[in-house]
Amino acid sequence: MSYIAKPSEIERKWYVLDAEGKTLGRLCSEAAMILRGKRKPIYTPFLDTGDYVIVINADKVQVTGKKAQQMIYKHYSYYPGGMRETTFEEMQKKHPDEVIRHAVKGMLPKGPLGRQMAKKLKVYAGPDHKHAAQKPEVYDF
């Protein structure tokens, strides 16, 4: 019989990940693992056992190769001609937090459980965040 965590025994911590100089995919996969709780011994696939993640310096995250020019974010408004395409470079300048949020969300489960996990991700473009009261730990990987 496998161990199944009860929602009442889940303890949540806060972690800070610094995106400066990190590769987008490696940073986001680590954030997704923390949000899901896969590094915890009480991990249960159908429960949200994960911790909170604060990502700072989102504007300094890097991609390798030609991805900065070739990676395209698409948004469709469901109106005729409503397809909008933005490259990674443009997105990094306008909405650096959205780049990380989009990548992490794609690595989480789909459905209500994944949406619940995604709410625990806080992304900031600069080095400051407003979660000092939660006493977050710096997470090195």
Residue 18 belongs to some domain of the structure? yes
Q: What is the pLDDT of residues 53-108, one digit of tens each?
A: 999 999 999 999 999 999 999 999 999 999 999 999 999 999 999 999 999 999 99
In a domain, 68, yes or no: no
Report the distance separating Cα 15 and Cα 13, nearest Å: 7
| Domain-embedded: residue 36 | yes
What pLDDT digit, counting tens, does each position of 97-110 carry? 999 999 999 999 99
The span from the CA of 71 to the CA of 45, in Å, is: 31
Q: Domain tally for the chain?
A: 1
Indicate the SS3 state at residue 120. Answer: coil
Q: Are 94 and 57 in contact (CB under 8 A)?
A: no
Residues 126-141 as b/e (b if ≥16 CB within 10 A, e otherwise) read: eeebeeeeeebeebee
Q: Which domain holds residue 100?
A: 12-61+95-127
Distance of CA 77 to the CA centre of its chain: 24
Evaluate whether 110 touches 28 at the Cβ level (below 8 Å): no
- What CATH number corresponds to the domain at position 108? 3.90.1180.10
The model's confidence at residue 1, banded by pLDDT at 50, 70 and 90, is: low
Q: Please indicate, yes or no, if residue 6 is contained in any of the structural domains.
A: no
